[in-house]
Chains A and B, each alone.
Chain A
Amino acid sequence: MAAHSAVLSASKIMNPFWVGRLGNTAKVFGTTLIRHRNKTSLTPPPAKYGGRHTVTLIPGDGIGPELLNHVREVFRFTCVPVDFEMVNVNSALETDDDMNNAITAIRRNGVALKGNIETKHTLPASVKSRNNVLRTSLDLYANVMHCQSLPGVQTRHKNIDIMIIRENTEGEYSSLEHESVSGVVESLKIITRNNSIRIADYAFKLARERGRRRVTAVHKANIMKLGDGLFLQCCREVASGYPDITFDSMIVDNTTMQLVSKPQQFDVMVMPNLYGNVVSNVCAGLVGGPGLVPGANYGRDYAVFETATRNTGKSIAEKNIANPTAMLLASCLMLDHLNLNDYASLIRNAVLTTMNETRLHTADLGGQGTTSEVVQSVMRVIQSKGQFTAEL
């Protein structure tokens, strides 16, 4: 508020030409400040021009481009006030220019929606995973995944509702490896106090925000006494500041066993990078597969949304059989982040109606539907809600 009134006072003694403009800027800036203070999540909302948001779109490889086209189709149909700035990142190129363009675009827009960029295993070790470069450059330190059982999907276990918070920037994904002696490779796993406190704090804040009762830290501190030991210690320290939330810890191998036998016991889980990768894929498998679960990567200043399990889906690309649910739900998470909650709820409900009531399923769920049929069904449900929409 101080900045707001300071600008207005300054505007009183300035040329009237500038007053209106500065006043408007102050109003927008002031509103942004207030919204930032009231918002409990960590990332500030991005800039808005003419009432429309601009979001960076990175199609990626495999099924990414087709799924993101469907997202654009649904957004266009629902008249969502979001414009996409498409940035192509080509996994075949050896230079980093396209990656730098993408990072600059996300820095400019603040928000991105992306497909997975393929990391070829045949490339030399010095070439880092582009997805990883994106996450670390933008310091998207929290990967959040919400796994919920869907009534319309047949699974062995029911009533699963787990939030997984995975540290996204360090751990086993530090890309620090060396071969000092031929045939002997050393890989460095980096765990820092700062990042561990940061992710634990994020997990507890999110748990409190969502009314969750229990946070479980997943680790292997019995073996990696210093690395995971530090992570666990940081979690315990943060937990002491949240007496209303129960904190416990579980070793990662026991965690996977418990997940496949009694997943209902878990509420919120926080863990370092690699365990997060494994646990999130286990949970995705438990609720019906990678085609269903959206994921979000949050940093202090930026947010990037994608499918939770980050699959390229090369083998099913351009066959019109991929499940669009995960990407559509990821776009809803993005709309929530942009405070376009009404649009988010509308599209989310339409997707869930198609999944649970109409039960139009793609092949990964044992159904016969194609991707476009599912998307058409989603748009029909949106139209039936009576909102102003474009032509089908």
Chain B
Amino acid sequence: MMALILFRTFLTCPDACVFQMVQDPTQFDVLVMPNLYGDILSDLCAGLIGGLGVTPSGNIGANGVAIFESVHGTAPDIAGMDLANPTALLLSAVMMLRHMGLHDHADKIQTACFDTIRDKKVLTKDLGGSAKCSEFTAEICRRVQDLG
């Protein structure tokens, strides 16, 4: 079965792309671009979804070699205080699981994470809540367990 993939080029990319991204990002699906535009656009899109605290990323090389990472800073001011939002690194780990073919586990953790954020009951400070990092993580673990 051949999947039909629609391929469009934005002929005046990146300028035409960015204002459309700002006005209606839902029109985009997958974007491919050279290094500098990727740097700019990925941060722009991260800003659209809530910032670097919730944005996962992966670097894929030849032969399946890959490094997955969160792209936010080291936040030395809150290091070691159980305050950080683990979402970005957790979703990067989910990307890693998909890369390894462990889709069921990936789906479970992603669903649990998204449900916790959607519920708004247990959120870290940067997302508007007052929970600690460990409490937020525990809530996600609880949901993973409930998902069986």
Binding site for B on A (CB under 8 A): 121, 220, 252-254, 256-261, 274-275, 277-278, 280-282, 284-286, 289-290, 309-311
A252 and B15 alpha carbons, distance in the complex (Å): 14
A220 and B43 alpha carbons, distance in the complex (Å): 13
User: Contact between A256 and B47 (Cβ–Cβ < 8 Å)?
Assistant: yes
Instruction: Judge if B111 is at the interface, Cβ distance under 8 Å.
Output: no
A-B contact list, 5 entries, CB within 8 Å: A260-B47, A278-B18, A278-B40, A281-B22, A285-B18
User: Contact between A278 and B47 (Cβ–Cβ < 8 Å)?
Assistant: no
| Total A-B Cβ pairs within 8 A | 67
User: Contact between B11 and A121 (Cβ–Cβ < 8 Å)?
Assistant: yes
User: Distance (Å) between the CB of B110 and the closest chain A CB?
Assistant: 23
The secondary-structure label for the interface of chain A is helix
- Cβ-closest chain B residue relative to A279: B18
Interface size class of B (residues with CB under 8 A): 20 to 34
A280 and B23 alpha carbons, distance in the complex (Å): 14
Instruction: Judge if B116 is at the interface, Cβ distance under 8 Å.
Output: no
Instruction: Judge if B57 is at the interface, Cβ distance under 8 Å.
Output: no
The 0/1 profile, CB within 8 Å of A marked 1, for residues 30-63 of chain B is 0000001001111110111001100000000000
- Cβ-closest chain A residue relative to B38: A253
Residue of B19, B41, B42 ringed by the most chain A CB atoms within 10 A? B19
User: Contact between A281 and B11 (Cβ–Cβ < 8 Å)?
Assistant: no
User: Distance (Å) between the CB of A205 and the closest chain B CB?
Assistant: 26
A278 and B22 alpha carbons, distance in the complex (Å): 11
A18 and B15 alpha carbons, distance in the complex (Å): 56
User: Contact between A286 and B22 (Cβ–Cβ < 8 Å)?
Assistant: yes
Taking CB atoms, residues of chain A closer than 8 Å to B36 are 220, 274
State which of A252, A258, A290 has its C-beta within 8 Å of the C-beta of B19.
A290
Instruction: Judge if B129 is at the interface, Cβ distance under 8 Å.
Output: no
State which of B40, B48, B52 has its C-beta within 8 Å of the C-beta of A252.
B40
A281 and B40 alpha carbons, distance in the complex (Å): 13
Taking CB atoms, residues of chain A closer than 8 Å to B144 are none
User: Distance (Å) between the CB of B20 and the closest chain A CB?
Assistant: 7
User: Contact between A253 and B19 (Cβ–Cβ < 8 Å)?
Assistant: no
